[in-house]
């Protein structure tokens, strides 16, 4: 019975998940395989356009490969995509089924609503984990192909923070799906929220020191972590645990809502 629920959720999210896989492989693959091409362009710009304003991370990114990956994958560009993917995987649930018309069938099954939610959450977390593993694998393989030495612990540590932070967005998506009706509305609203978050946090991501009022919203920095960390001990666990606690709270809210809702 649980197997059947998990199988159902898998079939339901399969297309989304495979899209996410393609996006992940494409982005991570691009940044590794296109590294020399990107670097060549930068060198040319430095020579031909000395008037260009260079961002603070520019010089280091050019000569330090792990930092290059840190900047483009873990801290900035891919992180934003990652967050969107986490939200995408969390969409679903009874509200969505109600919009589609199959809620009656699902709710007439001899299964508790908690279990229905649990299957959904489980599959989403597993899919997120799979994506993170795929990122690592594609980065390692891409770097190896390009003969760019890359310490594996750097990758593991940063992808771990990305995963743990991603759980927060996943939980937010699971929760939002229970409150918002319609098949696509949760995604639209989530995108709006994330856009706002990153807009506000961008200066800090770029390197400005954290103001006190920005701390609760500092999850993008939390997911990026300091650039050079290579082990679990270096992770900002206090912040990470706070984020996981928030995720747990959102999940509990979602469960409560699904249990009490009228369909």
Partner 1 sequence: MIQSFAIETDALTKYYGDFEAVRGLTMRVPKGTITGFLGQNGAGKSSTIRMLLGMSRPTRGNGRVLDFDIADEKQSIEMRKRVAYVGEDKRLYDYMTVRQMIDFTKAFYPAWRSETEQKLLDEFRLPPDRSTKKLSKGMRTQLALLLAFARGAELLVLDEPTEGLDPVMAEKVLELVVGAAADGATIFFSSHQIAEVEQIADRILLIDRGQLLLETTLESISTNFRRIRGVYESAPKPATLAIDGVTRIAVDGRVVSVMASHNSVSIAERMRASASAVEVMPMTLKEIVLESLKRDQS
Contacts with partner 1, residue ranges (CB under 8 A): 1, 3-4, 7-8, 11-12, 14-15, 100-105, 107-113, 259-260, 262-263
CB of 187 to partner 1, least distance (A): 17
In this complex, which beta carbon is closest to partner 1, that of residue 145 or of residue 252?
252
Of 250, 258, 7, the C-alpha closest to 115 is 258
Cβ atoms of 183 and 102 closer than 8 Å: no
In this complex, which beta carbon is closest to partner 1, that of residue 43 or of residue 259?
259
- Report the C-alpha gap between 89 and 102 in whole angstroms: 20
CB of 258 to partner 1, least distance (A): 12
In this complex, which beta carbon is closest to partner 1, that of residue 19 or of residue 102?
102
The 3-class secondary structure across 72-106, one letter per residue, is HHHHCHHHHHHHHHHHHHHCCHHHHHHHHCCHHHH
CB of 1 to partner 1, least distance (A): 5
Three-state DSSP state, 164: helix
CB of 5 to partner 1, least distance (A): 9
In this complex, which beta carbon is closest to partner 1, that of residue 8 or of residue 80?
8
Of 230, 206, 99, the C-alpha closest to 153 is 230
């Amino acid at each position: 019975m649980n197997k059947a629920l998990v199988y159902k959720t898998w079939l339901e999210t399969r297309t989304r998940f495979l899209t996410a896989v393609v996006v992940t492989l494409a982005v991570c693959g691009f940044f590794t395989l296109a590294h020399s091409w990107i670097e060549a362009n930068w060198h040319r710009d430095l020579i031909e356009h000395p008037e260009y304003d260079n961002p603070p991370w520019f010089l280091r990114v050019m000569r330090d490969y792990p930092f290059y990956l840190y900047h483009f994958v873990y801290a900035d560009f891919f992180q934003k995509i990652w967050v969107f993917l986490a939200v995408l995987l969390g969409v679903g649930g009874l509200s969505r089924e109600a919009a589609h018309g199959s809620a009656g069938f699902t709710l007439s099954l001899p299964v508790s609503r908690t279990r229905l939610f649990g299957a959904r959450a489980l599959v989403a977390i597993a899919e997120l984990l799979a994506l993170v593993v795929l990122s690592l694998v594609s980065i390692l393989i891409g770097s190896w192909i390009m003969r760019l030495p890359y310490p594996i612990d750097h990758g593991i540590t940063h992808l771990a923070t990305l995963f743990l932070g991603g759980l927060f967005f996943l939980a937010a998506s699971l929760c939002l799906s229970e409150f918002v009706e319609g098949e696509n509305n949760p995604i639209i609203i989530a995108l709006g929220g994330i856009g706002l978050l990153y807009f506000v946090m961008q200066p800090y991501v770029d390197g400005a020191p954290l103001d006190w009022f920005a701390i609760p919203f500092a999850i993008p920095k939390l997911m990026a972590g300091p650039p050079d960390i290579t082990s679990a001990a270096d992770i900002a666990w206090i912040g990470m645990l706070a984020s996981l606690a928030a995720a747990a709270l959102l999940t509990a809210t979602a469960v409560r809502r699904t249990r009490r809702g009228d369909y």
